[in-house]
Amino acid sequence: MSESQRGLLHCAIVLAVFCLAIGARAGEDAGNLLSDGGFESGKLDGWKGNGEVSSDEAHSGSKSVRLTGGSITAELKTEPGATYKVLAWVKIASSEGADWGGMRLQATDTKSLAHSDWLNVGSQGKEWCKVALGFKAVSAKTTLNVGFFGGPKKMVAYFDDLRAFRRDGENRPPQIQPRLTPTASDRLPASQSFDLQGDDPDGAIRRVFWDFGDGQRAFEAAGQRRVGLPGKFTATVTAIDDDGAMTRATVAWSAADAQLPQVGVRTPAAAESTVAAPLVKLEGTCTGAIQKVLLSSDREQCIPATGTKAWKAEVRLARSGQDLKVAGRDSARPRRHALARGRGPLHGRGGSYS
Ligand SMILES: [Ca+2]
C-alpha cells in the first residue's frame, strides 16, 4: 500500500479485556513441594484452613479448592538462603464490597517473606489466571498462605494447580504465540481480534503490550479492535514475566480498501529532492471524492492546492530540509484525510538557500 493512504485516521477501540496470565502449563519445572496442589484427591491433603475441595471449577483435572473469604496454608520444607517460587491458578468467582484487600499468595516464616499483589476482579478479571510468588527462605520451614486477606469485603475464589519449587539456574523468559485474525482485510474499517497464547515456564506472564504498527496499542493479552488504516504493518507483542524477562514476537498484517481515495504526487518525481530555488512547484492527482487538497509542512505551513483530481501548488521552502505532506479531504467522509508523505525533505540550494 502506498504512502499516499497513510493518513486515514480512525479511533482505536479495544472492546475486550482478558487476563494477562494466560496459556497452558507446558514447560514448567518438574517437581512440587506441595503434596496435592491440584486437589484431585478430593481432600485438602497437606493443607490446613478454611477451604473446600470443589468440582464446580477446575483449571486442570476435575477439582480445585474453593475459598469463601478464608484461606488455607501449607508447610514447605525449605533450605535457608535458597530461592523458591510458588505458582498458582486462580479464578475469582465473586467479589462484594470496595474496601481494601483481596486474594493473594503469601510466604511467611516468623514474619512475611513475600506476597503477591492483591488478586481482585479489577486486576484479574473472572477467568483463570496464573500467579507467581518468589521468596527466599530463612529457615527449614516456610508457610504458604493462599486466600483472602483484608477488610470486610466478601470474595469467593477458586485456586488450582498450585506448585512450589526451588529456583535453580537462570530465569527463563515467556514462550508466546501471538495471533491476529484476520491478517488481511480488503475493506475498511475492519474488525481484527488479537490474542496471545503462551506461558512462562518458571513463573507467570505479568504484562503484555501490543503495538499493532498502525499507531494503535493495547495492554491486554487479547481483545478486539477496529482497523481503519490501509497498508502493510507488523504487529509486535511483548510479554514480561514476574522476574522481568521479556519475549517479543511479531505478526505481519495488511489492510486495503479500493474504495478509499488516494492522493499521489507526480512532481517532483523523487521522494527527496534538492532544489536550487526556494519556490517549488508540486503537481499530483487524486482518486475518489476528494473535495480539497492541502499541502502542509513541518514548518507549520498550510497551502491550499488548486484542483483536486489534478492538483497544483507552490510552496516556498525554508532554508534547510523540510517535509511536505499532501492531504486530500474526502467529501464523503469529511473527517478523514488521505495523506501523501515522502515528497520531502526538499533542500534549498544556492542563493539565500544554501
Ligand atoms: Ca520466567
Distance 240 CA to ligand 1 centre (A): 8
Domain 3-19+172-255 shares a fold with domain 263-353 = yes
Distance 315 CA to ligand 1 centre (A): 56
Q: What's the confidence (pLDDT) of residue 119?
A: 92
Whole-prediction pTM: 0.69
**Residue 317 or 87, more confident:** 87
Distance 202 CA to ligand 1 centre (A): 5
The grid cell for 85 is 517460587
Each residue of 247-273: pLDDT tens digit? 999 999 999 887 777 788 888 887 777
Distance 221 CA to ligand 1 centre (A): 17
CATH code of domain 263-353: 2.60.40.10
Distance 175 CA to ligand 1 centre (A): 9
Q: Does domain 48-166 have CATH number 2.60.120.260?
A: yes
Distance 228 CA to ligand 1 centre (A): 36
Q: What's the confidence (pLDDT) of residue 353?
A: 35
Distance 28 CA to ligand 1 centre (A): 10
Q: Over pLDDT 90: what percentage of the chain?
A: 57
Each residue of 29-84: pLDDT tens digit? 458 999 999 999 999 989 999 999 999 999 999 999 999 989 999 999 999 999 99
Q: Is 210 exposed, middle or buried, given 0-12, 13-18 or 19+ CB atoms closer than 10 A?
A: buried
Each residue of 279-337: pLDDT tens digit? 888 999 888 788 888 888 777 788 999 998 999 999 888 777 777 878 887 765 544 45
Domain 3-19+172-255: CATH class, spelled out: mainly beta
Distance 319 CA to ligand 1 centre (A): 53
Distance 165 CA to ligand 1 centre (A): 13
Measured at the alpha carbon of residue 110, what is the angle toward residues 108 and 112, in degrees to the nearest 5?
Answer: 35
**Residue 334 or 277, more confident:** 277
How many residues are given for the chain? 354
Each residue of 206-230: pLDDT tens digit? 999 999 998 899 999 999 999 988 8
Q: What's the confidence (pLDDT) of residue 331?
A: 65
Distance 264 CA to ligand 1 centre (A): 49
What would the mean pLDDT of 131-154 be, rounded to a whole number? 94
Distance 161 CA to ligand 1 centre (A): 17
Distance 13 CA to ligand 1 centre (A): 31
What would the mean pLDDT of 115-127 be, rounded to a whole number? 90
CA dist., res. 302 & res. 313, Å (int)? 11
Residue with cell 493479552: 221
Distance 241 CA to ligand 1 centre (A): 5
Distance 22 CA to ligand 1 centre (A): 13
CA dist., res. 178 & res. 187, Å (int)? 23
Distance 205 CA to ligand 1 centre (A): 8
The grid cell for 114 is 513475600
Each residue of 171-197: pLDDT tens digit? 999 999 999 999 999 998 899 999 999
Q: Give domain limits for the chain.
A: 3-19+172-255, 48-166, 263-353
For residue 131, pLDDT beyond 90:
yes
